[in-house]
Amino acid sequence: MHVLIDGTPAINDERAIKRYVSNLISELSVLDRSFEISVLYLGFRKGVSVLPQSPDSGNMKIHCSSANGRMLRLMWSLLGWPDISFWVKGKPEIMHFPGAEPYIPAKGSTILSTMHGFARLFIPEKMGGEKENSRRLRILEESIRKTDRFITVSETNRIELSEKFGVKPGKIRAIPLGVGAEFSTSPVSREDLEKIRKKYSLGDKRIILFVGVIAPHKNIDGLIRAYAELPSALRKSSNLVLAGPMGSDQFRKEYAEMARKCGVSEAVKFTGRIPEDSCDLPLLYKCADMLVFPSFYEGWASPPLEAMKSGVPAILSDIPSLRESSGGNALFCNPDDPHSISDSICRMVEDTKLREKLIGEGLSFAGKFTWRICAEKTLEYYREIASS
């Protein structure tokens, strides 16, 4: 059997998909050696692009191309060329697109796509303009049409894919994402914690932490309003830390203005993008008293599990995917109601027994999710597809 993986998102994507593809390739590279695995990276820039750790030996062959993406897409749309054989010898039995879009022609191969959620279908009003949403939905529908087999990152998404797009359940396998070993309860020095607080101007107050892109679908406005509604004493003793990249410059201005109008601009801290090759995010979790993640929609969210593995209790939106990805080991709130979010924060601070319970049960549950397990389940699915 020969499996070809599109590794391009691991070097060109800025989102969680990059982390997924990178870790999947790294783990697959040290697993079963009974069949060939190739990885193709398009848009590779020597000296700039950083490949995942995957030895170019045994059954893991690496193919890099600097071909321009826009030029390729034009050629594909007009000529249907070049197909996958232009870069890789032999026809792979399975062509896996872990970034959800099967954009490279691969005639004769079984097309496998990993789907990461359908936010533009369920909350289009939070995802940008109508024109852009329509364009993205057309791409999604075309991707589903071209795909023979699917991986979804949650059972919730598996059901959504089947019910909303008519995909037969037997063609879908739910394989949850992993959590990196860098997130743990291992002790760190006080000096390291002080450095990270100083780096992001967090002071020495209690930290109410959010992790993710700073954008409307993550309910940042609801979180800022909820923080502003906290009792005065709790507000004065805490900072709301929003850790992640800004969705746009416009959002930066809007959320800063909202914090100002709510009278909490000094306490709302925007860290900006956290460097992926640093220890900053694990250290931020260790500084935090709680994670608050009131997103309107998720396919599968990593921050709750990252927090749990770090011994940090979580407050999450009461939506199916977050119920699933947390195992119910969180305090749940109504994302449409800032009062519900605010009340949950107060309860997390005041109820010591609840905190201890959530921390203990969260640690136990989060331990079930590793990138190795994710890769093993993916490998198992490759075998099943090949034998069918």
Query: How is the chain split into domains, by residue range?
Result: 2-178+371-387, 190-366
Q: What is the pLDDT of residues 207-219, one digit of tens each?
A: 999 999 999 999 9
pLDDT tens across 291-330, in order?
Answer: 999 999 999 999 999 999 999 999 999 999 999 999 999 9
Same topology, domains 2-178+371-387 and 190-366? Answer is: yes
Helix, strand, coil fractions of the chain, as percent rounded to 5: 45, 15, 35
> For residues 65 and 284, what is the distance between their CA atoms, to the nearest angstrom?
37
The fold adopted by the segment(s) 190-366 is Rossmann fold (3.40.50)
pLDDT, residue 85, reads 87
Nearest CA-CA partner of 371 in 156, 149, 98, 109: 98
Please give the structure tokens belonging to residue 92.
């792979």
Question: Tens of pLDDT along 225-281?
Answer: 999 999 999 999 999 999 999 988 889 899 999 999 999 999 999 999 998 878 999
| Overall fold of domain 2-178+371-387 | Rossmann fold (3.40.50)
Q: How crowded is residue 196: how many other Cβ atoms within 10 Å of its Cβ?
A: 21
The answer on pLDDT for 54 being more than 70 is no
d(C-alpha 134, C-alpha 132), whole Å: 5
Residue 234, C-beta contacts closer than 8 angstroms, at least 6 positions apart: 345, 346, 349
Model pLDDT for residues 152-201, shown as the tens digit of each residue: 999 999 999 999 999 999 999 999 999 999 999 999 999 999 999 999 99
Backbone angles phi, psi at 40, to 5 degrees: -110, 130
- Give percent of the chain with pLDDT exceeding 70: 98
pLDDT at 55 over 70: no
Q: If you count DSSP H runs as helices and E runs as strands, how many of each does the chain have, helices first?
A: 16, 13
Confidence at residue 204, expressed as pLDDT on a 0 to 100 scale: 92
Nearest to 302 by CA among 285, 279, 288, 283: 285
pLDDT band at 56 (very low <50, low <70, confident <90, very high): low
